Amino acid sequence: MWGGMSDPRLLVLGHGYSAAALARRLLPRGWTVTGTTRSADRAEGIARTGVAPLVWPGADIRPALDAATHLLISAGPEDGADPVLARLGDELRGRRFDWTGYLSTTGVYGDHGGGWVDEDTPLAPSTRRGRERVAAEAAWAATGLAPHVFRLAGIYGPGRGPFTKVREGKARRIVKAGQVFSRIHVDDIAQVLEASIARPAPGRAYNVCDDDPAPPQEVIAHAARLLGLPVPPAVPFEEAEMSPMARSFYAESKRVRNDRIKDELGVRLLYPDYRAGLAALLAEETGGR
């Protein structure tokens, strides 16, 4: 029994990196977690974590929807539309869950020249991905499910840190004047989601980020120092060779406030800044040596 529920069942639509971290917290607490994936190969890996995989689109998802007490949507927009609503909009109409969550992005706020934003800041995305997320948030709000919206900053964690590129000499310290990003460790995403499940406030939006927005080149430099390796040379943004997607991340600069997850959900971040998060990742990689 968890939080007064005798048989809590979470259905994740798009069982990815963040959802897997949430499942690692919920499964030992007696939850049943089902996660959708498009790949039969990925389904095998999901099953090994204790999550029941569902290859979808493909399999009939209605039994999983019928059984679910909680619903998490972690699939992003595709071709300008929300892929879940495109396939399940009619099926979801009229359903009720104890809690519904939607994973969005801080990209919905757009560029603020390094200034601060919070959940009450008007949504003014400057990238296509940000505009698609704003549209998806609105589309989910219109379903009547009153989803909790989690606007995630840049995600890092096991397997998604800078250490591999630094070790291989592939890391670059791209410098753009005034550029700052907010970040969040995946385990902190998971604890925010769990805290929201315990304290539901349907329709509420939450910024999910740490306490220390920082220039990206500082993070790479710190990772190199932790490894005892030379700090990669600085590359001016204007001269850097980057993919269009990578370059688009530098189109927006802002500092994101996270007071709401602390004040309303009682969250105490495991990794309040990138220094704490990177130190923990390195200790895990090296077995604490």
Residue 17 lies in a domain: no
Residue 241 lies in a domain: yes
Alpha-helical segments (H) within 110-269: 128-141, 163-167, 186-198, 216-227, 244-249, 259-263
- For residues 28-58, one letter each, b for 16 or more C-beta atoms within 10 angstroms of the residue's C-beta and e for the rest, the string is eeebbbbbbbeeeeebeebeeeebebbebee
Overall number of domains in the chain = 1
1 pLDDT band (50/70/90 cuts)? very low
Residue 13 lies in a domain: no
Please count the helices (runs of H) and the strands (runs of E) in the chain: 11, 13
Neighbouring CB atoms inside 10 A of 221's CB total 18
Give me the CATH number covering residue 146.
3.40.50.720
SS3 255: strand
Residue 238 lies in a domain: yes
What is the domain range of residue 147? 76-286
> Angle, nearest 10°, between helix axes 83-92 and 128-141?
0
Q: Give the model confidence (pLDDT) of 238-266 as tens digits.
A: 999 888 878 888 989 999 999 999 999 99
Residue 2 lies in a domain: no
The DSSP 8-state label assigned to residue 29 in this structure reads G
Residue 37 lies in a domain: no
Residue 20 lies in a domain: no
User: Would you state the pLDDT for residue 248?
Assistant: 82
Taking a C-beta distance cutoff of 8 angstroms, is the pair 267, 195 a contact? yes
Q: Give the model confidence (pLDDT) of 100-157 as tens digits.
A: 999 999 999 999 999 999 999 999 998 999 999 999 999 999 999 999 999 999 999 9
Residue 227 lies in a domain: yes
Position with higher pLDDT, 192 vs 248: 192
Q: What is the pTM of this model?
A: 0.95
